[in-house]
Structure 1
Amino acid sequence: MSPRESAPARRRRRFRKRCAAGTALLCTAAFMWINNTDLLADHSVEEHGVLAHRGLGQTFGHEGVGNDTCTAERIDEPEHDFLENTVPGMRAAFDAGADQVEFDVHMTADEEFAVFHDWELDCRTDLSGTTRDHTLAELQQADIGYGYTADGGETHPFRGAGKGLMPSLDEVLAEFPDDDLLLHVKSDDPAEGELLAGRLAELPDERLADLTVYGGDGPIAALRERLPELRVMSKAMMTDCLVAYEAVGWTGHVPPSCSRMQLHVPEGYGPWLWGWPARFTQCMAAADTRVVIVAGSGGFSEGFDDIGSLERIPDGFTGLVWTNRADETAAAIHGPNG
């Protein structure tokens, strides 16, 4: 500033600086708004897909459910005969219109993979101990419908009907060779991820493209290191992705930590993401990442399980919708053109 600058000149200079700063802020705000609204979204994209959690199985009330709750002992009155994590239940979900079916895997005592939800066997089956205490052959002799009851133990509608219904991972892959599958590794043991990586590495690339694996941080990190082309998700990976995205997502840029994943986003958290829902899901799709909307807080398997709940799916969402009742909701989720 020149010492001879007059007071009016100084005021004019400060005014121009403030105008320039204000204009820059307005331009930035306008860019952020336009870049994160549906204006830039591709509205020709199909609206929703369906993720059938554990195929088709028995449902239960989520009130008061904790990590140690035996949900088989509190099922709703059965409306069908299918049990979760079974080949018939998965087939029924696909027949109902599911685009992806989720199921749980456990490593067995003989280093095979059994498809079953619980770590402990006592809740649902006529065996005791954990899945790792038994060989695959022993587990496949179990009655997986043994513990189900809707009336506090007075009756057990699936006792005897579940004998021999626990499939292996190999059997599921063989039964659904061309379908989109989501594998859930229930442990946090890196050794389980390494064993699973060795099994999946035997599959052709085109089959791997239809598989997604999620679970504990340890096994999923081992999977990603061995099979970087596989779509995966863990809590740590999802946190890294979303923290980075919140920092830069307003620009439309998807950080590398969000590539080739499957993000499970609770419905209440979605509105806090840049570009939610249409722009966000489409930007993630460009990074080979799928987005799944889950009901409530995302805890304890909550899903969009009845027609009324589907009204909460935001307009413009183009990912997968998590449901425990594909038979009730798949057709409606897909819509009239599905």
Structure 2
Amino acid sequence: MKIAVDAMGGDFAPQAIVEGILMAAKEFNDLEFLLFGDESKIRKALGDQYTDGGKIKIVHTTEKIDSDDEPVKAIRRKKQASMVLAAQAVKNKEADALFSAGNTGALLAAGLLIIGRIKGIDRPGLMPILPVIGKDNEQFLLMDAGANADCKPENIYQFGLLGSYYAKFVQGIENPRIALLNNGSEATKGSELSKKAYALLEEDSELNFTGNVEAREILLGAADVVVTDGFTGNAVLKTMEGTAMSLLKLIKNQLLSGGLKTKIGGMLIKDSFSEIKDTMDYSKHGGAVLFGLRAPVVKTHGSADKVAVYHTVKQIRKIISSHVIDDVVKHFDEKNAQPVSQNEQ
């Protein structure tokens, strides 16, 4: 399995990217990496662990896409950018998946313009994996988390299909529960977009659609896949991240600023506090999949460290091994090949 890596994307590139790749390469013998970026900087980060012709290969380029670049223009004008060349490698079947910590909009544009979307999928969605609180090793998917600010009901319905496939074939959930994020559990609640998306999801008998779910319930494991439009999903995701960081900071400050009894109590719960921090740490749950493209494209946080990179690579390995993209492509090819009835024309 070969992963094309945008080694220059992210706040701490290429150092954090390379360190995470080295961690993954050490653990997984079946992975190879194509690192696209400035060869001198990548070699320096690799140090004496790099050997020509090994599992890690460098494709030199000095051009990169910056965080403030306009996505589509950057992809079209910066033909030698590390992200563009990595996407091209996937398109040309030189690699099985694309990984980047860079500009999210540019990565989506590279996926759409270079790799291409699955026939029958109107818009790929950004799908992060999030923890279920109070249940060890359980997770849920949120889709879309920012790729499409404006959505149609059909887009949200397709997010349900894609999320269901991922949960089943990558996470091993036999009959994934799909829920629509809304401001109430009743079917009649929400905007016109929500009501129409609800009807489409409910109509598909192949989906285990459980109805609406409120934002306060999703971290408690109310569904395996939560679908919504990209604007709402991104707002919810950032609210959860901000709340988690604020709560951890508040608890830490209280423990440090309290009296002797508080400090002793803090020492006693130190291990439990570390477990809570690990549960809420996004870096331990992998990256966000741009799902709906013809190959795996995975984005990790721009501020990702080597641990986040390692876990994202581990996730990509699982996606490639599951052949979930091939399965989705086959499903929609067969669906599009079905004759259209006169009632649907």
TM over 0.5: no
| TM, length-normalised to structure 1 | 0.30
Bigger relative CO (Cα 8 Å, ≥ 6 apart): 2
